[in-house]
Structure 1
Amino acid sequence: MTAGHFTVEDPATGRALDTVADGGPAEATAAVDAAAAAAHDWARTPARQRADALHRAFELMLREKDRLADLIASENGKSASDARAEISYAAEFFRWYAEESVRSSGNYGPSPAGGTRTVVSERPVGIAALITPWNFPAAMVTRKIGPALAAGCTVVLKPAAETPLTALAIVRLLAEAGVPEGVVNTVTTTDAAGVVTTWLEDARVRKVSFTGSTPVGRALLRQAADRVVNASMELGGNAPFVVTPDADLDAAVDGAMLAKFRNGGQACTAADRFYVHADVAEDFAARLGKHVEQLRVGPSSCADNEIGPLISAKAVDGVTALVDSAIASGARVVARAEAPTGGEGHFFAPVVLADVPADADVVQQEVFGPVAAVVTWQEEDELLRMVNDSEMGLAAYVYAGDLQRAMRLGESIDAGMVGINRGLISDPAAPFGGVKQSGLGREGAREGLHEFTEIQYLSLAWPES
């Protein structure tokens, strides 16, 4: 029995949506018990059977797309269109890993010295602890569960306390798809530290995969080091968006609207700092401002709304403080959208700032809100110094008319992912992850599957004839 329950709220209204079990260390241990009991059989389940279950889960998610999107919109607050897009994206991880799970890897060959043969194969890493954030409550769950199950791992999952309903719904669909009992085990909780510490101190847990803030990631890495637990970390971002003087400004503005305002800017890949060449900065900011002023801000209950609330009142206060500080430092407001007023819901009006000092907090920190801060540059050396003067290195965006110049700039940026003349970079078939303090390891693509495997080799005595 769990110690109690907690309430999940709609950030657009503050009203209660549902209550879920509030687990603690005891429930965390019980989840590992169940994962351990199922681990042997699941690891030895033929890859084709694991693939079939994942493919059925993909089909079930598409069947339930509207219901799942409504859940996301309700507990996360994102717009109806963003929520539907997330379900399509999230489901694709199940299909991708259904296909990848049957493509075995390894090699066999003679030793150069002779007398032996070497057989190299991959095996499941073991029970995996998965910790997911609130901003993409479906995609972050499937992006971790998909490869873990494909590799033959059983998992224990802790979704964010702000958005547990979507995760619970997806886990139920996995059971309907034929994933055996004990393979996926969910603990909803308001005691994240207690649950995750229990997992990291349990000798049966051999993998931790976390998506969230860099400070929390650092703490988890310290804990994982005590038992040398295999760790994947997808941490914070502060993505630069570069516009060169020869860029197609209409295309750059369209890309900026995607890169900055998807999910209200509450994404680790969101463009936060816009470095626009001085020759086109005023024009770019004006064009972007016109688009931002037309954004429809409000609850997802109205299908026409494009920007929902921020996740909490604390988030609104944080974004407001960054904007106010920038204005006090000399930045000017180019444009603002209109947002609901009256106190209900955690809404923030999207804004475009120009003449922003390069050292302003709104540039140096991850904003996690609908704020576009425009900094001007003139020389590429100056540009790259500003772009790379950050502890973060997750995503970046470059818009340039000359493709070779765009590629050169992209390759010079310290980031794990760079969008060249496009504002959307996430793809289940591509390796998602960053450098520096934006994380360790990759999710998605074949690389995401490798994160849940370990390499073993057998050395066979093989007398030469």
Structure 2
Amino acid sequence: MTATAAPTVDTVESVEIVPSFVRDAWWTPDLGSEAGAAPVLDASTGELLALVSSAGLDLAAVVDYGRTTGQAELGKLTFHQRALKLKELAQYLNGRREEFYALSAQTGATRIDSMIDIDGGIGVLFTFGSKGRRELPNSQVVVDGPMEVLSRDGSFAGEHIYTRIPGIAAQINAFNFPVWGMLEKLAPAFLAGVPTIVKPATPTGYVAAGVVKAIVESGILPNGSLQLVSGSVRTLLDHLDYRDLVAFTGSAATANTLKSHPNVVTGGVRFTSETDSLNAAILGPDAVRGTPEFDAFVKSLVTEMTAKAGQKCTSIRRAIVPQELVPDVVAAVGERITERVVLGDPRAEGVTMGALASREQLADVRAAVQSMLDAGGELAYGTLDSPAVTRADGSTGVVDDGAFMSPVLLSWADPEADEVHSLEAFGPVSSVLGYTNLADAVRLAARGGGSLVASVCTNDPDVARELVTGIAAHHGRVLMLNREDARSSTGHGSPVPHLVHGGPGRAGGGEELGGIRSVMHHMQRTAIQGSPNMLTAVTGVWHTGADRNFTLETEDRHPFRKSLSTLHIGDAVRSGLREVSLEEITAFANSTGDTFYAHTNQDAAAANPFFPGIVAHGYLLLSWAAGLFVEPAPGPVLANYGLENLRFVTPVAAGDSIRVTLTAKKITPRETDEYGEVAWDAVLTNQNDEIVATYDVLTLVEK
């Protein structure tokens, strides 16, 4: 990616316009277009920070650049090479976090809030940089599942493969996590080989732009792989088709509008969304006041109410507790907030909770809370009045232009009220609901209509089983919290890149994360059919029935004498026969202690329908197989590090013989080491050419 300086454009107010980065250059609207630009204010002070506009931007050209230059440049790299770039980028951004923290503070985020966003986003890059090299091949095609034989003679077969979609990933992000929201979508798309167009939310988009500026300056990413549009993208979907993907995070109302676009409804644009979520935390009946589980529950609830000022899609909106424990929970939550929460400008020392992202957001949250109060909710803690806060200079008072709000806890005499299960106040707001039994708790949790996450806090395994199995289908993730993991848990509201982040129903029905699963969202699964040779050619993995290149067992021809530079898929060796004797079976049984009757007792073994009498141990046969195919002298093969897919098929009795056929099945060079992995297809057969065992031998081989 070409590194250029981000320009500034002077307006009549001498306020910078947040730039876009498109077609590998920084872009801002023409002078004079600022009249239609959206102002961005400091969340704590109301100071005008910047203007945002995309007026005049050619979105069709942006999409085309991603589909052409971006696709071409990413197509030059394998999964492992892309993964290494993600790791390199994470290391680079890690060194510039202080710059990002300063920008983030202007959004109302405390230092800890900023770490969740910034460090969390960088952590996603590290994770996919690692998982891409460990779980994907060093190629551009992923094989999905085993080969299916489609003809009697094995000449026609099929299987499934994944290849990247040929378009772009348009990523429309929410205001609450301008860095994590961008990087957690960028990482799997980049690893899949799909160019990204990022559209951050206007109130905090300048933070995303600051990170993109650093990414551009790093020069790590290929041209066209990342573009940023600051401002409106109302016509973006007009330029997309079945080749492209839209990943949206935001309100359900906006998601529904986007999903109704003709190019989504009939044009085949892939659309995933993560939207509103009325997440629940359920307290088990065993978790009474004084237990570690009760304390963990209260701590989690207060954390989720106040972290990012409650502006998290994963925050706990409904605390579902035994009816008799409602007063205890309300009291404990109020006590913890009073003791630990200091509201104010995040740049002031000692502040633990900052402002909402904007005055507009504050108005929306207050309106939602008022609607819940009108529907029967009662203020158990907090107020809707403007709170006194700590200012940046350390003084205390009401900041009229700030977006500050007191934490609010609501109680409900009627837990069935529709509003508590349908209205999301996207701020420091939660409700406590009482349940009568576990089935009632499950039912109340499910009334959220599909959620991203729920917590179950109990130390009773039976309670955990009933609650989790009852609510799982309504949620994308369930945290089980007890005294054993309370300290080590990443928390209710912290998605991790290894596991699914998404949820059914109201939550949008998507899965933004989930390890390599999220990479596959950006790829097309295709069934391919043909001969084993053709399947091998397409996938780069040897298939049973494909040609083998049998070599002699001499020092210069044995496959184990070949480095990665001379070894080819299909190189194979077939050993001679080795006869199995009863004495050897008995000796193996005695030396290992494996005296299972099938190996030691003729009458008992013969009575077993699977055995003809005493048979050889499977592991004895594997050991002999190694002796039949291993080249003993030092050479390119450095180590055997395991077996996969082992199956024993036909028993071997005394007097039978075995041989092994070993074929180079998959070759995976390591980008950063002087060796790679080779998977060998191993087949043991007897003197009648019946298959005795099949497995893959894994070795490390010098390049």
> Fold conserved (TM > 0.5)?
yes
Match in the other structure for 1:237: 277
Match among 156, 163, 172 for residue 213 of structure 2: 172
**Is the counterpart of residue 144 in structure 1 residue 144 in structure 2?**
no
Q: CA separation in 2, counterparts of 1:306 and 1:91?
A: 23
Match among 214, 217, 224 for residue 252 of structure 2: 214
Q: CA separation in 1, counterparts of 2:127 and 2:413?
A: 42
User: Aligned to 1:227, what secondary structure does the other structure show?
Assistant: coil
Q: CA separation in 1, counterparts of 2:173 and 2:376?
A: 38
Match in the other structure for 1:426: 495
Q: CA separation in 2, counterparts of 1:9 and 1:321?
A: 21
Match among 353, 366, 387 for residue 320 of structure 1: 366
**Are the counterparts in 1 of residues 502 and 509 from structure 2 also a CA contact under 8 Å?**
yes
Q: CA separation in 2, counterparts of 1:68 and 1:184?
A: 19
Q: 1:329 to 1:216 in 2, by over 3 A?
A: closer
Match in the other structure for 1:280: 325
> Structure 1: which amino acid aligns with 2:48?
A
Instruction: Name the Cα RMSD after superposition.
Output: 2.3
Q: 1:117 to 1:310 in 2, by over 3 A?
A: same
Match among 29, 32, 47 for residue 2 of structure 1: 29
Q: CA separation in 2, counterparts of 1:25 and 1:397?
A: 47
CA deviation profile, 1:205-243 (whole Å, cap 9, x unmatched): 511111111111112222212311112111110111211
Match in the other structure for 2:311: 266
Match in the other structure for 1:454: 524
Q: CA separation in 1, counterparts of 2:242 and 2:451?
A: 33
**Are the counterparts in 2 of residues 79 and 303 from structure 1 also a CA contact under 8 Å?**
no
Post-superposition offset of 1:453: 0.9
User: Aligned to 1:290, what secondary structure does the other structure show?
Assistant: helix
**Greater Cα offset, 7-16 or 349-358:** 349-358
Post-superposition offset of 1:272: 0.6
Post-superposition offset of 1:177: 4.7
Match in the other structure for 1:14: 46
Q: CA separation in 1, counterparts of 2:276 and 2:171?
A: 17
**Are the counterparts in 2 of residues 333 and 353 from structure 1 also a CA contact under 8 Å?**
yes
Q: 1:219 to 1:180 in 2, by over 3 A?
A: same
> Structure 1: which amino acid aligns with 2:225?
V
User: Aligned to 2:244, what secondary structure does the other structure show?
Assistant: strand
Post-superposition offset of 1:172: 2.8
Post-superposition offset of 1:435: 0.6
Match in the other structure for 2:346: 300
Q: CA separation in 1, counterparts of 2:478 and 2:131?
A: 24
Q: CA separation in 2, counterparts of 1:255 and 1:238?
A: 16
**Are the counterparts in 1 of residues 411 and 432 from structure 2 also a CA contact under 8 Å?**
yes
Match among 398, 403, 409 for residue 346 of structure 1: 403
> Structure 2: which amino acid aligns with 1:433?
G
Larger proportion of helix? 1
Structure with the larger RCO, 1 or 2 (CA within 8 Å, 6+ apart): 1
> Structure 2: which amino acid aligns with 1:29?
A
Match in the other structure for 1:334: 380
**Are the counterparts in 1 of residues 279 and 448 from structure 2 also a CA contact under 8 Å?**
no
Post-superposition offset of 1:333: 2.9
Q: CA separation in 2, counterparts of 1:383 and 1:181?
A: 52
CA deviation profile, 1:350-391 (whole Å, cap 9, x unmatched): 122223532162443111111221111112222222221233
CA deviation profile, 1:96-150 (whole Å, cap 9, x unmatched): 2222333133155251433213353221113111111110010010011111110
Match in the other structure for 2:425: 367
- Structure 1 unaligned regions, length at least 5: none
Match in the other structure for 2:128: 97
Q: 1:376 to 1:306 in 2, by over 3 A?
A: same
Post-superposition offset of 1:306: 1.6
**Greater Cα offset, 417-426 or 220-229:** 417-426
Q: 1:204 to 1:177 in 2, by over 3 A?
A: farther
- Structure 1 segments (4+ residues) deviating >6 Å: none
Q: 1:342 to 1:165 in 2, by over 3 A?
A: closer
User: Aligned to 2:161, what secondary structure does the other structure show?
Assistant: strand
Match in the other structure for 1:182: 224
Match in the other structure for 1:416: 476
Q: CA separation in 1, counterparts of 2:505 and 2:418?
A: 21
Q: 1:352 to 1:367 in 2, by over 3 A?
A: same
Q: 1:203 to 1:374 in 2, by over 3 A?
A: closer
Q: CA separation in 1, counterparts of 2:319 and 2:240?
A: 44
Q: CA separation in 1, counterparts of 2:87 and 2:101?
A: 20
Q: Structure 2 length normalisation: TM-score? A: 0.62
Match in the other structure for 1:46: 78
User: Aligned to 1:185, what secondary structure does the other structure show?
Assistant: strand
User: Aligned to 2:181, what secondary structure does the other structure show?
Assistant: helix
**Greater Cα offset, 26-35 or 55-64:** 26-35
Q: CA separation in 2, counterparts of 1:339 and 1:245?
A: 38
- Structure 2 unaligned regions, length at least 5: 1-27, 288-292, 390-397, 482-490, 534-544, 547-703
Structure 2 counterparts to residues 125-136 of structure 1, below 5 A: 125=165, 126-136=167-177
Post-superposition offset of 1:25: 6.7
Match in the other structure for 2:119: 88
Match in the other structure for 2:438: 380
Find the structure with the greater CA-based Rg. 2
Q: CA separation in 2, counterparts of 1:362 and 1:342?
A: 30
Post-superposition offset of 1:328: 4.6
Q: CA separation in 1, counterparts of 2:479 and 2:343?
A: 27
Match among 489, 504, 513 for residue 435 of structure 1: 504
User: Aligned to 2:202, what secondary structure does the other structure show?
Assistant: coil
**Are the counterparts in 1 of residues 368 and 424 from structure 2 also a CA contact under 8 Å?**
no
CA deviation profile, 1:328-351 (whole Å, cap 9, x unmatched): 555443333854324120111112
User: Aligned to 2:403, what secondary structure does the other structure show?
Assistant: coil
**Are the counterparts in 2 of residues 356 and 373 from structure 1 also a CA contact under 8 Å?**
no
Match among 287, 292, 298 for residue 253 of structure 1: 298
Match in the other structure for 1:390: 448
Q: Structure 1 length normalisation: TM-score? A: 0.92
User: Aligned to 1:276, what secondary structure does the other structure show?
Assistant: strand
Match in the other structure for 2:9: none
**Is the counterpart of residue 399 in structure 1 residue 457 in structure 2?**
yes
Q: CA separation in 2, counterparts of 1:342 and 1:172?
A: 32
The number of residue pairs the alignment matches comes to: 459
Structure 2 counterparts to residues 52-67 of structure 1, below 5 A: 52-67=84-99
> Structure 1: which amino acid aligns with 2:156?
T
Give the fraction of aligned pairs with identical amino acids, expressed as a percent. 22
Q: CA separation in 2, counterparts of 1:246 and 1:178?
A: 53
Match in the other structure for 1:106: 143
**Greater Cα offset, 378-387 or 57-66:** 378-387
Q: 1:156 to 1:332 in 2, by over 3 A?
A: closer
Structure 2 counterparts to residues 192-231 of structure 1, below 5 A: 192-194=233-235, 196-198=236-238, 201-203=239-241, 206-223=244-261, 224-231=264-271
Q: 1:244 to 1:204 in 2, by over 3 A?
A: closer
**Greater Cα offset, 145-154 or 171-180:** 171-180
> Structure 2: which amino acid aligns with 1:350?
P
> Structure 2: which amino acid aligns with 1:193?
R
User: Aligned to 2:246, what secondary structure does the other structure show?
Assistant: strand
Match in the other structure for 1:156: 197
User: Aligned to 1:273, what secondary structure does the other structure show?
Assistant: strand
**Are the counterparts in 2 of residues 14 and 344 from structure 1 also a CA contact under 8 Å?**
yes
Q: CA separation in 2, counterparts of 1:40 and 1:239?
A: 42
Post-superposition offset of 1:10: 1.1
Match in the other structure for 1:32: 63
**Are the counterparts in 1 of residues 438 and 466 from structure 2 also a CA contact under 8 Å?**
no
